[in-house]
Each structure stands twice: as C-alpha cells, then as structure tokens.
Chain A
Amino acid sequence: MSSEREIQQTLCRMCDDRCGIDVHLEDGRMVDITGNRAHVWNKGRLCVKARAAVDMVYHPDRLLTPLKRTADGWQEIPLAQALDEIAERLVEIRERDGARSVSVWKGEAIGFGQQEDIARRFIHAFGSPNYLSNDSMCYAARYFGYKLVDGGWPIADLENARVIVMWGANPPHAHPNMTQYITAARRKGAKLVVVDPRLSAIARRADVHAQPHPGTDGALAWGLMRELIRTGAYDKEFVERHTVGFPELSAYAATFTPEMVEQETGVPVATVIEVAALMGDAAPRVAMYVGNGLEHHENGVNNIRAVVSLDALLGAVDREGGNRFVEPAPLRTLTLYDDVPLTHLGPLGADRFPVLYDLRQECHTMTAMGAILEGDPYPLRAMVLTGANPLLTNPNTERVRRAFEALDLLVVRELFMTETAALAHYVLPAASFLERSELHTHAKHQAITLTCRVCGFPEVQDEYQFWHDLAHRLDMGAYFPWDDETALNRWLLEPSGLTLEELEAHPEGVTYSPLTTAPLERGPFATASGKVEFASRYLKDLGYDELPTYKSPEYRGTPDDEYPFVLVTGARKLLYMHSRFRNIARFRTAEPGPEVEMHPDDARALGVGEGDLVTVTSRVGSVTIPVHVMSPAEIRPGELQITHGWSEANVNLLTHDDRFDPISGFPLMKSVEVRVEKV
C-alpha cells in the first residue's frame, strides 16, 4: 500500500535563525525536513539541527501528560484539573503575598516576539511586573550598546560590505545561515576580521584573526578609534552632522595607543594598525556584528558601545554595506506596559539595573533568586516557567537550585523532564514549534512568515492556548479574547494590510515594506539628542560614565596564584542550543559530552592529555570534566573554554551570580578566574 506523502512549509525554530523548511509527512507523520529553497533567509540551506526536529517531536521521552508532584512521586492528572489547581494556587498566593510575588519566566526555547509578548501580557494582566527571561543574560546588553549610541539596533548589511568584523560572534555554530551571507561578501572581495579569544569556526576564514584576552574587546575598539582619528581616516562629515560627544570621545581615545592596546588585549600592535587601515579603506562599507561573547563581562555594555561608536566613526551607520536600520513590522503589540503600568510595584532588578527595565522591561533573574531565598527586595513565591532550564543555564547553579526548591509554586511547561522541570509542582507538556502557528519577522529582509501547525498531540497545548485557558480561570479572560492562536495571529497582523491567507500562500516570507536605499534620510536618530551619541546624557543622569569608558577585567589585575586560569563559558557548538538536544542520540555520537578546551602547553604543564579528567574550581564551585587539548592556534595559554548546558559537568556551578555589568546587570560568565587540577 503506498503511503501519501505531502510537504508543509514552515520555519525551523531549533535555534533563533528561523530558517524556511519543507516538512515531509507520510500519512500525517513527519518523516523528513529539508530546506525551503525560496525562503528569504536561508535559501534552502539548513544545519543538521533542523532534521532532528522530527526526532525531538516523536522522542520516546516526550512529556505528553500533565504531571503533579505528590508525596508518592509524579502523578498523571487531566489537563483541566492541572489548570484549575494552578489557578487556585496562584490566587491564594496573590491574596497572601501580593501579585508581585508571582512571576513568569519565558525561556529561549519558546522564542521571542509574539510568544514573549503573550507571557508578558499574562503576568501584567495578573497584576505583577515580574516578567523574567533568558534576556537577563543574552541579547539585551547588545541591544543597550546599540540603542544607547545609535538609538536602535541596526542590521549588519553583510553581503554588501567590503570589510566584515565579527566581534565575539561565531555564526557557523550560533546563527548557521548567517555564514552564507559572509561568504557572499567574501566572494565579492570583502575582507573578514574576527575578534575572538578562540579560533572559532568563522575565524577559520578570517583574513585577520584578532585574539584579545576575554573581556578586553573594548580596549581594542578604543585603539581602533584612536588610529582612525589619528590618521584622519574617520568620516568627518558623518561625525559633524550626525553625532554628539566627538571631542570627549577623541580625548578619551588618545590614551589607547597600539602599544597600550597590545599590553591590555594581547592583540599585536601590527594587527591593530592593520585592522584600522582595512576599516578606513573600506568605510563606510564596514559591517560589524557583535555576538554574545561581549555580553558576559563586568564591562560588557561599554565594550559594546565602544564597538558601536567605531561604526559611527566609519560612517557605517544606516549605510549600504555597513549597518542598516530596518522598518519594524507593522504588527499589533500584545504587551500591557501602557495600559497597565506596574512600575510602582518594583519590578525585580529595576532599582539595581534601571536600564534593563527602562529600555527592555526585563526583570533580573539573578535578583529573582535573592527575592525567593532571602525575600530581598521582597518575597517571590510562585513562578510559571515555559521552555527554560535555568538549572543549567543561569549562573551559580547551586543557588538556582535552592531558590527553585524554595518556591511555593513552580509550574514548568516543557517537552522533556529537564533538571528544572524535575523541581516543579506541576509539569505541563508543551508544544514544540511544529505544533503551533505564529508570526515571525525577518527584520533583515523586512519580511513576515506565518508558521503552520504541522502536527499535534492531545493534552499538549500551544503557548497561546495555555495562557488563554489559565487567564480565563483567573478572571482576566478579557485580556485573552481570541479563541485560538489563529484568531490572535489575525488580530496581530491586521495593521499590516496583509492577510493570513497571503502569508499561508507564501511560506518563503512576504515583504512588509521595501528595503530603503536612501540612507540617513529617515530623520533624527532615536536617541535623546536625535544624533548618534558617543557620550550619553541618559547614562550620565543615571550615574554612569557618559562615555563608554574602558574597565579592565578584574582577572587582568593582580595575578591570582589560587585561580591562575581565566575561563570563558558558553561558546556555542553546532549541535546544541544552550541546554537543549542532549537527548538526540546521533548528536551524542558527534559531540559526546562536555569538555574543557585547553592550550597544549597548559595540558603538558598539568600532565594531562586528551580525554583525561581534571577538576576546574572557581570561587563559586567546581566541576570534574574531560580535557580537550586544542591546537596551539585555537586558544591562548592560560585561557580555557567550557560550553554550558551539560548536566554531566555543568559549568554554571562555577559562574558568578553576584558580579555584574553595572548597566545591563548581565553576570560575569566569560572571564571567570579558576584553577585546574588533574584528577
């Protein structure tokens, strides 16, 4: 009997690249995933994570029934009962400790945009400002760097650049299909500069690999600015017409001589001069992209601001081949910050890190741990968490564990029984991206795609249905009037003039407005001064330096005999997305387990070889982990790297949850002082 094969076109959300995919089904069951050749972003190409979505969806360990923790272990209960009980508990806790003692936590696995905004809407409608997410340690610090200088985060116009600079970013592993845009530029003669302490996958193709010590990128950016100013190679007209603070910037840059930069960063004098010359020659067609590598430091935002200031010196802001502003998608927004302002309730972290709440309405997850454990600044009692695994991904795991164990109510929505779900009072089965329909914006191409529900399981709700059903049990159904996600999608899309039917007919993406070719003609920049701000009055008023001043990382100070190594954590690997996909069997064949990446000289000095076990210890904790001896070119002596997300050797047992970037509140995770001992 021949089976019926059909293809449904949607987007992959195994990572946030959101590539167009063709899902192949036989008798309604997924059998294969291939690339959608017409899709604006990936043009048919896919990394191997996409095909593994089939295995993830049908995985034997998939949670398909609501679970309740009881004295006798997990008990399966009907969905309606679970939602009734959760609603009842939430009301009790709100009556006892106030609405702000309840929070939601939205994980990276759920995505951003629409799904993020539904969670934000829910908690505000409930009366609490405490929306927590992965953005306490990803994305937001870069957003601030760009927002504070340029008034927004423009998109690197990679394929039209003559010089591309990757700062702490490794697209082949982190945003795989960004790599083809870099190739397209290089094939037209563009030079590639990669700034990374490690020889990353993208650095393999670099014309110049600048290898700064972790956290010193800002000194390199200042050194490049000094060179451009000194040689007169900066864009004087752009600086004159479109920026404020140049005299201050210029004066501060003067101390960053190439010799000083070499001393601080380890990047040779000749490399500093070479990169500055490459940039000056190619300006304004210099496209720089900043990755997460710059965020997890005590001076992250200012290092990023320094890089963004460099963009402006090159006149590469809002220019073809530089960084281009894009039009936002004309969609409705779901958040209630204007309708139901709750700032007076003291969003967690807003007092310590005012920028985090003011510019992103993010609460601070590390502060939330203190609220749970010490009632500081006030008690946090309940959390509804969806698609996140902070027990592997947040810093200082032991404290995270204690905090989650201390909650009066923890509800976790998940595909699998994760380390975090195991601590929950209720675990609800969550829908994967292939089991829901939502709108996605591809800002670079100013296009929208609608994803489709390819499959589904009974008792497994999509995100919207979950928040909707819980809201209606909490007398806040008025905020969730749409019967299902399709009705919601239709409402969100309305202002665009596009219809769901048009989007369904064009899974390759529909352009919502043509890409502009008129740079710098869209009026003032979205900063307080209307110009690019080398010096920020906004930050000054909050008590910060107005310039992106450079602060040398603590480990660069006095040598510490007790903790002589500096550990970078969280470099991304191709097959894993943070803590996810460790249960895909073939991924384990290829990348079997955690490892500490080490220079061969250090391995020799420690008397260890490939695969030997060592104990890595920081002031926070220690892990035992096998050694991976790198090639001498791939990492510097004295520097180590461990990727996060492994329960077998969880690197966040070592990371600090009390040393922060003062502007973003991001934790120090990429320059951790450690010692290493042979086991």
Chain B
Amino acid sequence: MRIVAVDPDSCVACRNCEYTCAFQQTGDFDRARAHIRVAYYPAERACVPFTCMHCAEAWCMEVCPAGAIARNEETGAVEIDAARCAGCKMCLLACPFGNIGFDEADGVSGKCDLCGGDPRCVGSCISGALEYVEVEDAFAFRREALDTRLRHVLRLDKGRP
C-alpha cells in the first residue's frame, strides 16, 4: 500500500502542493479549496503539511449516514462520492485531523482522493517533504540518516577524516 508520507522537517511551506491541489479541484489557486494544507508558524519556523491519512479504520467513512464514503480498493484512498453526499458534515466532525473540507457552493464534503493513485501534490513538492511511497519505505531516510551519522563517528574513531 502506498501513502503520502509527510515530513514537516523537510517542508519549506512553499505552497506548491496547496496550489496544485486547489487547481485540481477548482481550476484556480484559492488555497482554502485545497485538500492539503500547510500551516506555517514564522516565530517557530514550523511548517506543517496536513492531508488525509486514509485511516485503516476511517471514522469519517463509518459515521457517514449516506454511505457516500468508501475505500477505493485499488489505491487505498478513502473517497467521498459527491453525488451521494447529503452535506450533513458528520465526516468533518469525525475526522480527528481536520482533513475534510466542505464546499459551500455545492453543499458537499470534500477530501483527498490521492488523485486516483498519482497524487499531484507530491509531484509538485519541490522540497521532497511529500513522498508517495510504499508504507514500509516511508521515513526510511531516518534510518539512513542514523546510518550516516554512525559511519561518520566510526570513521573518526578509527582516525579517518
């Protein structure tokens, strides 16, 4: 299974992902309409991307009275069928991450659907903070970073530069 791995420590809040997603939804760059959001806190220099985690136990899906939310077996994405959505907003209440939005014009909920298995936000992530990877490969770079540090320490220990 592939996931959108999100690494705040690599994000620069350039907003390419938000613009790309908003463009997919609306043809415009209104970030409020994107299904991925990046919070930026200048004082802490913190950049925090948020998008749907496609939870294994998806509370939004369980709570939906219209049966409008279902898992796409091919991509693993939890998707909303706008045609069935009643606009009750229960899914917004259920999502613990606040990753579901509401389109007031159409009166339906909206969320990430992994663009059918090729998430455009990842393709526009110029820092590499977003990766669409097999779940077991996600964050492998953290193990590799530790390896690199250990190798460096060992080299110094043996008197090599």
A interface, CB within 8 angstroms of B: 34-35, 44-48, 51, 172-173, 176-177, 179-180, 182-184, 186-189, 199, 201-206, 209, 574, 585-587, 589-590, 630-634
> In angstroms, how far is the closest chain A Cβ from the Cβ of B6?
13
Contact of B149 among A34, A47, A189, A589 (CB under 8 A): A189
Question: What residues of B have a CB within 8 angstroms of the CB of A199 in the complex?
Answer: 42, 45
Q: B16 near A176 (CB under 8 angstroms)?
A: yes
In the complex the two chains form, what is the Cα distance from A585 to B15 in whole Å?
17
Contact status A589-B14, CB under 8 Å: no
Decide: A47 near B42, CB < 8 A? Known: A180-B128, A189-B145, A589-B29: no
Nearest chain A CB to B30's CB is how many angstroms away? 6
The CA-CA distance from A47 to B144 in the complex, in Å, is: 27
A633 touches B45 (CB 8 A): yes
Q: Which residue of B lies closest to A173 (CB)?
A: B14
When A and B form their complex, which 8 residue pairs have the shortest distance between CB atoms, in order from nearest? Answer: A631-B42, A590-B29, A176-B126, A586-B29, A180-B128, A187-B141, A183-B128, A172-B14
Nearest residue, chain B, Cβ from A634: B42
Asked if A179 and B43 make an inter-chain contact with CB atoms under 8 angstroms apart, the answer reads no
Among the listed B9, B12, B28, which residue makes an inter-chain contact with A589, where contact means beta carbons less than 8 Å apart?
Answer: B28
Q: B1-44: contact bitstring with A at CB < 8 Å (1 yes, 0 no)? A: 00000000111111110011001000111110000000010110
Contact A574/B14 with A48-B23, A51-B23, A204-B40 known, Cβ cut-off 8 Å:
yes
CB neighbours of A633 from chain B (8 A) = 42-43, 45
Q: List 12 A-B contacts (CB under 8 A).
A: A34-B120, A35-B123, A48-B16, A51-B20, A172-B12, A180-B126, A183-B10, A188-B145, A203-B45, A205-B9, A589-B28, A590-B31
Task: Return chain A residues, CB-CB under 8 Å to B72.
Answer: none
Name the CB-closest residue of A to B125: A45
**Given known A-B contacts A187-B144, A201-B13, A589-B28, A45 and B128 have beta carbons under 8 A apart:** yes
* CB of B76 to closest CB in A, whole Å: 21
Q: Specify which chain B residues have a CB less than 8 angstroms from the CB of A48 in the assembled complex.
A: 16, 19-20, 23, 29, 124
Chain A residue numbers with a CB within 8 Å of B120 are 34
CA of A350 to CA of B144, assembled, Å: 53
> How far is the CB of A93 from the nearest CB of chain B, in Å?
46
* Cβ contacts under 8 Å, B145 to chain A: 187-189
Q: Which of B45, B144, B149 contacts A204 (CB 8 A)?
A: B45
Measured between beta carbons, the chain B residues less than 8 angstroms from A634 are 42
Residues of B within 8 A of A34 (CB): 120, 123
B58 within 8 A of A: no
A177 touches B126 (CB 8 A): yes
Contact of A45 among B13, B28, B124, B141 (CB under 8 A): B124
Q: Is the CB of B19 within 8 A of A590?
A: yes
Q: Could you list 11 further interchain pairs (A-B, Cβ under 8 angstroms) beyond the known A176-B126, A187-B10?
A: A44-B123, A46-B126, A47-B16, A51-B20, A186-B10, A201-B12, A206-B45, A586-B19, A586-B29, A590-B15, A590-B31
For chain B, residues 129 to 149, give those with C-beta under 8 angstroms from any C-beta of chain A. Answer: 129, 141-142, 144-145, 148-149
- Tell me which residues across on chain B come within 8 A of A184, comparing CB atoms: 128
On whether the beta carbons of A179 and B144 are closer than 8 Å, the reply is no
With A and B bound together, what is the CA distance between A35 and B20 in angstroms? Answer: 13
| Residues in B whose Cβ lies below 8 Å from that of A47 | 14, 16, 124, 126
Q: Which of A46, A183, A206, A574 contacts B15 (CB 8 A)?
A: A574
B47 within 8 A of partner (CB): yes
B12 and A189 within 8 A (CB): no
User: In the complex, what distance in Å separates the CA atom of A71 from the CA atom of B29?
Assistant: 42
| Chain A nearest CB, measured from B8 CB (Å) | 10
Q: Which residues of A contact B9 (CB under 8 A)?
A: 186, 205
Residue-wise, chain B 102-133 has the 8 Å CB interface mask toward A (1 for contact) of: 00000000000000000010011111110000
**A201: B residues at CB distance < 8 A:** 12-14
- In the complex, are the beta carbons of B47 and A204 less than 8 A apart? yes
Cα–Cα distance between A487 and B158 once the two chains are bound (Å): 58
For A631, the closest partner residue in chain B by CB is B42
Whether B148 and A586, one on each chain, are in contact in the complex, defined by CB atoms closer than 8 angstroms, is no
Contacts of A206 in B (CB 8 A): 45
Q: Of A44, A176, A188, A209, which is within 8 A of B14 by CB?
A: A176
Q: How far is the CA of A182 from the CA of B31 in the complex (A)?
A: 26
Give Cα A35 to B129, complex, Å: 16
A205 close to B10 (CB less than 8 A): yes
B123 CB to nearest A CB, Å? 5
Q: How many angstroms between the C-alpha atoms of A183 and B15 in the bound complex?
A: 16
Q: In the complex, A574 Cα to B12 Cα: how many Å?
A: 12
Q: Which of B43-93 contact A (CB under 8 A)?
A: 43, 45, 47
Measured between beta carbons, the chain B residues less than 8 angstroms from A202 are 12
C-alpha gap A209/B43 in the complex (Å)? 13
Nearest B residue to A588 via CB reads: B29
- The CA of A177 and the CA of B23, in the complex, are separated in Å by 20
Within the complex, the shortest CB–CB distance from B38 to chain A, in Å, comes to 11
A35-B27 Cα distance, complex, nearest whole Å: 19
In the assembled complex, the Cα of A173 lies from the Cα of B142 at a distance in Å of 26
What is the CA–CA distance of A47 and B14 in the complex, to the nearest angstrom?
9
A284 to chain B, nearest CB (A): 9
Nearest B residue to A630 via CB reads B42
Q: Which residue of A lies closest to B126 (CB)?
A: A176
Docked-complex contact A179 and B29, CB < 8 angstroms: no
Closest to A205 in B: B12
Assembled-state Cα–Cα distance A180/B11 (Å): 10
- Distance to closest chain B CB from A182 (angstroms): 8
| Assembled-state Cα–Cα distance A406/B125 (Å) | 47
| B141 / chain A contacts, CB cutoff of 8 Å | 187-188
Q: How far is the CA of A258 from the CA of B43 in the complex (A)?
A: 26
In the assembled complex, how far is the CB of residue B27 from the closest CB belonging to chain A, in whole angstroms? 7
On chain B, the residues within 8 Å of A186 by CB distance are 9-10
Assess whether A589 is in contact with B129, with CB atoms less than 8 Å apart. Answer: no
Q: Which residues of A contact B142 (CB under 8 A)?
A: 187
Report whether B128 and A179 are in contact in the complex, using a CB–CB cutoff of 8 Å. yes
Contact check, B127 vs A586: say whether CB atoms are below 8 A apart.
no
Q: Which residues of B contact A587 (CB under 8 A)?
A: 29
> Which residue on A lies nearest to B45, using beta carbons?
A204
Report the Cα distance A176→B20, complex, angstroms: 15
Q: How far is the CA of A586 from the CA of B78 in the complex (A)?
A: 29
B20: chain A residues within 8 A (beta carbon): 48, 51
Question: How far is the CB of A471 from the nearest CB of chain B, in Å?
Answer: 40
Q: Residues of B contacting A204 with CB < 8 Å?
A: 12-13, 40, 45, 47
Q: Which residues of A contact B123 (CB under 8 A)?
A: 34-35, 44-46
Question: Once the chains are docked, how many angstroms separate the CA of A219 from the CA of B129?
Answer: 34
User: Are A188 and B43 in touch, CB under 8 angstroms?
Assistant: no
Chain B residues near A205: list those with CB within 8 A. Answer: 9-12, 45, 47, 127
Contact B28 A586 (CB under 8 A): yes
Residues of chain B contacted by A173 (CB below 8 angstroms): 14
A587 nearest in chain B by CB position: B29
Chain A nearest Cβ from B47, distance in angstroms: 6
Q: In the complex, A589 Cα to B34 Cα: how many Å?
A: 13
Give the shortest distance, in Å, between B37 (CB) and chain A (any CB).
14
Shortest distance between the CB of A55 and any CB in chain B (Å): 10
Shortest distance between the CB of A256 and any CB in chain B (Å): 28
| A183 engages B129 (CB within 8 Å) | yes
Closest beta carbon of chain A to B127's beta carbon, Å: 4
Q: Chain A contacts of B125 at CB under 8 A? A: 45
Q: How far is the CA of A586 from the CA of B16 in the complex (A)?
A: 13
Residues on the A chain within 8 Å of B23, using CB: 48, 51, 586
B152 to chain A, nearest CB (A): 8
Contacts of B19 on A, CB cut-off 8 Å? 48, 586, 590
Q: How far is the CA of A631 from the CA of B152 in the complex (A)?
A: 38
Q: How far is the CA of A584 from the CA of B151 in the complex (A)?
A: 49
Which residue, of A186, A209, A587, has the highest number of chain B Cβ atoms within 10 A? A186
Minimal Cβ-Cβ distance residue in A for B147: A188
